[in-house]
Amino acid sequence: MCNEALKLKDELQVYNAIELLIKTYSPAVVYAGYVNANNVNMYLSRDNNKNIDSEFKPRIKKVRTEYSEYYYSLSGEKIYESSVPLKIDGENIGTFVVGFSQDQMEKQIKIGISKMTAQIKIVSYVAIIIGILLANFLGYTFTKPLKLLTEASEQIAKGNLDVELKLKRKDEIGVLFNTFNNMAKQVKELDSMKDSFVSSVSHELRSPLSAIDGYCDLLIDGVKQGHPPEQQLKGLHIIKQATVRLTNFINNILDLAKIKADKLEIRKSDTDIVAVISEIVSLFQPLAVQQKKTISLDIVFKTAIIISADSEKIKQVITNLVSNAMKFTKENGNIILKVLENSAGYGDGYVEIWVKDDGIGIPKHQVDMVFEKFFQVQDGQFKRPKGTGLGLTIVAEMIKLHKGYVWAESDLGCGTTFKFVLPKK
The CATH number of whichever domain residue 231 belongs to comes to 1.10.287.130
Q: Is 29 in contact with 17 (CB distance < 8 Å)? A: no
- The pTM score is 0.52
List the CATH number of the domain containing 34.
3.30.450.20
Has residue 32 been placed in a domain? yes
In a shared domain, residues 85 and 215:
no
**Orientation angle between helical segments 311-328 and 273-290, nearest 10 degrees:** 30
Has residue 185 been placed in a domain? yes
In a shared domain, residues 388 and 277:
yes
For 7-52, write each residue's pLDDT tens digit. 888 888 888 888 898 888 888 999 999 998 888 888 888 877 766 6
Has residue 123 been placed in a domain? no
In a shared domain, residues 195 and 334:
no
**Orientation angle between helical segments 391-401 and 311-328, nearest 10 degrees:** 150
In a shared domain, residues 302 and 383:
yes
Q: Is 41 in contact with 60 (CB distance < 8 Å)? A: yes
Q: What CA–CA distances, in Å, run from 100 to 26, 113, 147? A: 9, 20, 66
In a shared domain, residues 388 and 274:
yes
Q: Over the range 40-70, which residues count as b (16 or more CB within 10 Å of their CB) and which as e? A: ebbbbbbeeeeebeeebbebbebeeeeeeee
Neighbours of 370 (CB within 10 A): 22
Has residue 140 been placed in a domain? no
Q: Is 366 in contact with 178 (CB distance < 8 Å)? A: no
3-state secondary structure of 367: helix
Has residue 121 been placed in a domain? no
Q: What CA–CA distances, in Å, run from 13 to 18, 60, 128, 277? A: 9, 18, 54, 95
In a shared domain, residues 308 and 196:
no
* Distance (Å, whole) CA 40 – CA 323: 106
* Distance (Å, whole) CA 19 – CA 107: 23
Number of structural domains found in the chain? 3
* Residue 383, pLDDT score: 54
Low-confidence ranges of the chain (pLDDT < 70): 50-52, 193, 196-204, 374, 378-389
Instruction: Kindly give, in sequence order, each residue whose CB lies less than 8 Å from that of residue 284, ignoring residues fewer than 6 positions away.
Output: 295, 322, 326, 335
3-state secondary structure of 381: coil
Has residue 113 been placed in a domain? no
Last residue of a domain, one of 260, 291, 317: 260
Has residue 130 been placed in a domain? no
Last residue of a domain, one of 260, 290, 309: 260
In a shared domain, residues 256 and 274:
no
* Distance (Å, whole) CA 101 – CA 29: 6
Last residue of a domain, one of 260, 290, 320: 260
Neighbours of 169 (CB within 10 A): 13
In a shared domain, residues 239 and 309:
no
Has residue 136 been placed in a domain? no
* Residue 84, pLDDT score: 92
In a shared domain, residues 363 and 397:
yes
User: Residue 396 sits in which domain range?
Assistant: 269-423
In a shared domain, residues 274 and 398:
yes
In a shared domain, residues 409 and 333:
yes
In a shared domain, residues 289 and 419:
yes
Long-range contacts of 189-195 (CB under 8 A, 24+ apart): 190/374, 191/161, 193/372, 193/373, 193/374, 193/375, 193/376, 193/389, 194/374
The residue type at 246: L
